[in-house]
Amino acid sequence: MSFVTVRDVWQRYGDRSIIERVNLDVAEGEFVSIVGASGCGKSTFLRLLLADERPTRGEIRIDGGEPAREPGRERGVVFQRYSVFRHMTVRDNIVAAESFARFPGRFFGPALRAARARADDTLARIGLAHVAGQYPATLSGGMQQRLAIGQALTARPRVLLLDEPFGALDTGTRLAMHDFLTELRAETNMTVFMVTHDLEEGFKLGDRVLVFDKVRWDPHSPEAFGATITYDFDARDGGIPFQRQLERYPGLAAQAG
């Protein structure tokens, strides 16, 4: 069952090919890590998934729907920086995830009170209740990213896109964020794409790890060809998805034996 379908996607800016011939099928609830060297087009691919850019060729569909022409509520996103609104308090950032969908983008009176109460529940769940009234700039990097993820999930997107979400965090905070993200995933069973330059992180969190690289290379014009998916690892169970089948299903052993 393919939930996110990518068919023969190319992206080029002028003469510069960024990615080419990308085909991908992702099932609902899968966590896909995307790794690769700098400038290999993994962030471009994420922007294509986000519909912030349209591919030069090919199409991307979610659940068989029409290819999107601009970002919308189907796709949630967390960037490395600037993912929350700095002029809003932490609580109002969560409220915005509900209120932005309809003009004028604000709740008033009882609706606002109810939304703020729901936002406080969300903040308690992601451990930010004590800073609800503060502005994001006063928060640490890890707390800001937790807020960004909480905000993105409050809008209930069908696919969550993460662009190096933990890239600017120190190691300890990053490990805590891994646990946080794993917990949230267990609760929501969300389909997630995460771009990272940290291989270990990719394998730890992902069900699949996609590697982007160039397969064709013209030494005279390095920009002639784009990158594509060169490896598609099954990263479940620490990268050995089938070796422990017998431990998990002892019944199989009897049949095999």
Partner 1 sequence: MRLINRIPSRPVAVALAALPFAAVLIAYALGSEIRLAANPQDKLLPAPATILDTAIRLFTQGDRRTGEILLWQDTWASLRRLALGVGIGAAISLSFGMLIGMLPHARRGLSGFVAVLSMVPPLALLPVLFIVFGLGETSKVVLIVIGITPFLIRELSQRVLDIPHEEIVKAQTLGASSGTIALNVVLPQILPRLISAVRLSLGSAWLFLIAAEAVASEVGLGYRIFLVRRYLAMDIILTYVIWITLLAFLIDWALKYLSRRAFPWMEAGL
- 135 touches partner 1 by CB under 8 A: yes
Binding flag, residue 52, partner 1 (CB under 8 A): yes
* 3, 10, 100, 233: residue in contact with partner 1 (rule CB under 8 A): 100
- Please choose, out of 115-123, 130-138, 191-199, 245-253, the segment that lies near partner 1 by the rule CB under 8 A: 130-138
73 binding partner 1? (CB under 8 A): yes
Can you tell me which of 29, 57, 82, 215 binds partner 1, judged by CB under 8 A?
A: 82
Q: Is the distance from CB of 207 to CB of 30 less than 8 angstroms?
A: yes
Nearer to partner 1, 48 or 209 (CB): 48
- Any contact of residue 85 with partner 1 (CB under 8 A)? yes
Task: Tell me how far, at minimum, the Cβ of 106 lies from partner 1, in Å.
Answer: 7
Cβ count within 10 A of residue 186? 8
Please pick, from the candidates 27, 37, 101, 240, the single residue that binds partner 1 as defined by CB under 8 A: 101
Rounded to whole angstroms, how far apart are CA atoms 240 and 87? 46
134 counts as binding partner 1 under rule CB under 8 A: yes
Beta strands in the chain (DSSP E): 4-13, 16-26, 31-36, 57-62, 75-78, 159-163, 191-195, 208-214, 227-234
Size of the site for partner 1 (CB under 8 A): 36
Q: Examine residue 71 and tell whether it contacts partner 1 (CB under 8 A).
A: yes
Candidate ranges 78-86, 182-190, 193-201, 227-235; the one touching partner 1 (CB under 8 A): 78-86
Establish if 177 lies at the interface with partner 1 (CB under 8 A).
no
- The Cα–Cα gap between 167 and 165 comes to 6
Tell me the C-alpha to C-alpha distance, in Å, between residue 154 and each of 116, 165, 201, 234, 250.
Answer: 12, 17, 24, 29, 41
Q: Is 17 exposed, middle or buried (0-12, 13-18, 19+ CB in 10 A)?
A: buried
142 binds partner 1 (CB under 8 A): no
- What's phi and psi for 16, nearest 5 deg? -90, 115
User: Given CA atoms 204, 209, 215, 221 in this order, what sign does their dihedral have?
Assistant: negative
Contact status: 97 vs partner 1 (CB under 8 A): yes
Return the number of the residue (87 or 248) whose C-beta is nearest partner 1: 87
Residue in 12, 81, 185, 197 binding partner 1, rule: CB under 8 A:
81
Q: Does 86 engage in binding with partner 1 (CB under 8 A)?
A: yes
Q: Does 88 bind partner 1 (CB under 8 A)?
A: yes
- The sign one gets for the Cα dihedral 12, 36, 84, 69 is positive
Instruction: Rank residues 97 and 229 by Cβ distance to partner 1 and give the closer one.
Output: 97
Encoded tokens for 30: 């899968």
Looking at residue 112, its amino acid is: L
55 in Cβ contact with 7 (< 8 Å): no
Residue whose CB is less far from partner 1, 96 or 209: 96
